[in-house]
Structure 1
Amino acid sequence: VKHAEQKAREEAQRREEAEQAAQKAHEEAHKAHEEAEQAAQRARQEAHKAREEAEQAAREAQQLQVKATEHFEKTLQEAEDEAKRNASSAEKLEVARMTKELEAEAKKTESAALAEAKRAELAAAAEAKKTELAEIKRVHEEEVARDQAEKESADLRLEASKATNNAKRA
């Protein structure tokens, strides 16, 4: 009888330890889940901020392009106005040549501004995508960790249940 009581006490102690371990695993899984949610929220905020910065950079590049175009259109108009004031044919030929040069320069500058705007837009989009992919990866890792913690918790509960059953049998 004493031996059976000793076995029952040992089983009860093992069951209690298993239940405590299961509870601890459950609490750790809950804590890991909360941390994962916080990390995901931070990642979403960073992605949103990166998107806003990318959009701002694209707007600024667009504004630079518009200013460059306006400047060269103004310069071209001034050259044309000057040409009209100087009406001699030699001057008209020179002004026409200069006008063509200014137009070519304006086109080059506009192309460069467009290229810079496109580069800024692509860089911003790439950064936003990279941040989004990092968030997806982080969320996946958090889900895997949560699933593992839940599995361990279930295993510990099963072990505690087995210990309880063994204790009852004893």
Structure 2
Amino acid sequence: MRCPRCDSTENRVVDTRTSRGGRAVRRRRECLSCQSRFTTYEYVEERPIQVLKRAGSSEEFDRVKLLRAIGTACAKRPVSMAQVEAIADEIEDALSKEAGLEVPSQLIGELVMLRLKPLDRVAYVRFASVYRDFQDEDEFQEFVREMKERGERELQQLHQSELPLW
């Protein structure tokens, strides 16, 4: 590894840590010629995942695009950037473990919704409103009504399964 300051290849590793949930190795290095310190990262070279779009075209998976979509849904909500990045990490990991390297965009959308729903219901509805591409207000209202009904049913089931508190 060449020093970014003096271009020397003589350096030593000062510290090594995992990063990005164990998907990368971060190394702090010290140049033996000029004593400057710099950081390097090691990643496994992965074959890119192709996302099959609804219109039939395909494009390479874009983590930044995924982060932006999740972040937009979570804007001004009590969801931290670390939580948004954790969702993106989980989805990227799940996609990279798929047998095929072509994944329909619908699967990505469903994975995001699956992770947003328990985290923040408003962010879930925001994401769904874009992802599901509602054509009019009635479709959107129907979605929200169904979501409320499912939530009420789940709450009733929870109350029925609880033991009396006396």
Shorter-chain TM range is under 0.3
Q: TM-score, normalised by structure 1?
A: 0.23
Higher helix share: 1
Higher RCO (CA < 8 A, seq sep 6+): 1
Greater radius of gyration (CA): 1
Q: TM-score, normalised by structure 2?
A: 0.23
Higher strand share: 2
